[in-house]
Chains A and B, each alone.
Chain A
């Protein structure tokens, strides 16, 4: 099956700093989503971005499908940005549009 690698595994920032999280995948995808899992376990859908660039406030994401990677940018980080960020991809073919998750990036933003 498709492999998903996220980097870095851990990231510690001071409030106000910017960061870039990366997601590499091993095959063509027709679905890519970025999530933020907060300390209570809730999975917040950040972006649905199988290709192209999107922005939502301080967050933006870019997926270059031909080169099999996606980037999540966090600007002016806040303590509430802390948590685990997951990238999940779906591969074409088959049915039911399954997602494969990466292992995540644990982000800690200190005040």
Chain B
């Protein structure tokens, strides 16, 4: 159980293109989804947190107009990199968790990531 599917696995596109990445929880309802970015040989850095039906919360230094996040349902969140440039090339990975309430955090389950290369 607790499977998270992320698509596409890799994208190569020209500078100026907008790219959409999907993150789906396949067998559970994800009250919260997270988007991370990972540069080569570095750790994961949280970009933003999204809750179903509300605006995403972005971490300091992350441009919300560059990285648009939509969490339209309890099983789907999307990240759109708008007008992508070579410096946006990175590994993007999502995770999902379900809130059981009472301040009781549950484990985050991760997708397989998306390798984005902007030429």
- A residues adjacent to B (C-beta < 8 A): 30-31, 33, 35, 40-43, 45, 48, 50, 86, 88, 90, 92, 96-104
Contacting pair B43 A103 (CB below 8 A) = yes
Contact of B43 among A31, A45, A102 (CB under 8 A): A102
Distance, CA A31 to CA B51, complexed state (A): 19
Please give the distance in Å from B110's CB to the nearest CB on chain A: 4
Contacting pair A33 B103 (CB below 8 A) = no
Distance, CA A68 to CA B119, complexed state (A): 44
Contacting pair B46 A99 (CB below 8 A) = yes
- B residues adjacent to A (C-beta < 8 A): 32, 34, 38, 42-46, 49, 51, 57, 91, 93, 95, 97, 99, 103, 105-110, 112-113, 115
Note all chain B residues with C-beta closer than 8 A to A45. Answer: 107, 109-110
- Given known A-B contacts A33-B107, A33-B108, A48-B107, A41 and B32 have beta carbons under 8 A apart: no
Note all chain B residues with C-beta closer than 8 A to A88. Answer: 44, 108
- Can you name 13 extra interface pairs (CB under 8 A) apart from A96-B49, A97-B97? A30-B103, A33-B107, A41-B112, A41-B113, A41-B115, A43-B110, A45-B109, A86-B43, A88-B44, A98-B49, A101-B43, A102-B43, A103-B43
Contacting pair A43 B43 (CB below 8 A) = no
5 CB < 8 A contacts A-B: A31-B105, A33-B107, A41-B93, A45-B109, A100-B46
Contacting pair A96 B103 (CB below 8 A) = no
